[in-house]
Amino acid sequence: MSSGFAKGYTPWNKGLTKETDARVKKIAENISKSLKGIDHSNEIYRKKISETLKGHEVSDVTRAKISESMIAFASTDYGKKRHHEMRLKQWSNEGFREQRSNRVTADWENVEFRDKQKDARNINPNKLEQDFARTFPKLEFVGDFSFIVGSKNPDFILPDTNFCVDLFGDYWHELEEEQKRIRYFKKKGYDLTIIWEHEWTNNKDEIIEKINNAIEKNA
């Protein structure tokens, strides 16, 4: 659908905030006052708005004004608070979480989506992954999104098996992630082993024996 604006059109308030522009500040204050106390997630409120607009064609100018007002409102402290509250309410809903999870999984199962992510991120093995790959030539590096389990991307797989390995950098990961991720892969039918960076650095011989035993067991 055409917006009705000439190519290159820039909203008057682009880049402006209530801290830098008196007009944006005034609009934000007016919107904040008018919306305070209104529960926008309320079904009755949404239905009234829908019925009011039903059958009315909203002009491009009006759409632009609405968009500008919403941007101004979002920059206010109250607007930020309301957005945060609404997001918390959404994520506390089990149905929403399941729907979100299913959508993310469907995206990653789509080969075209996966290829776009792979090209956009241009991922190559880091030093830890390169060292690990040299040590275990039977394992294949797939941390570039070339292999997906549900919505998760392991770092290595043993081809033609359900054995996977993830390398966790100490800086990037929290301890509680480990068991959560292992359970996710198990639910999908995969056996995931997680190796932490400090384990590889400090106990390399033990890790080599552990992974070689796993490879022999799953081969």
Give the per-residue pLDDT at 126. 92
What whole-number distance in Å separates Cα of residue 146 and Cα of residue 134? Answer: 19
CB distance 23 to 72 below 8 Å: no
User: What is the DSSP pairing of strand 156-157 with strand 140-141?
Assistant: antiparallel
H or E, element range at 166: strand 163-168
Distance between CA 178 and CA 76 in Å, rounded? Answer: 38
Tell me, what's the pLDDT at 3?
A: 47
Interatomic CA distance for residues 1 and 23, integer angstroms: 30
Rg from Cα positions in the chain:
25
- Mean pLDDT per 10-residue section of the chain, whose length is 219 residues: 54 75 78 60 59 66 73 77 78 76 72 73 86 97 90 94 96 92 96 96 96 95
Contact 151, 98 (CB under 8 A): no
CA dist 154 and 143 (Å) reads: 6
Strand pairing class (163-168; 191-196) = parallel
pLDDT of residue 49: 61
Q: Which domains does the chain have, with CATH numbers?
A: 22-91 (no CATH), 123-218 (3.40.960.10)
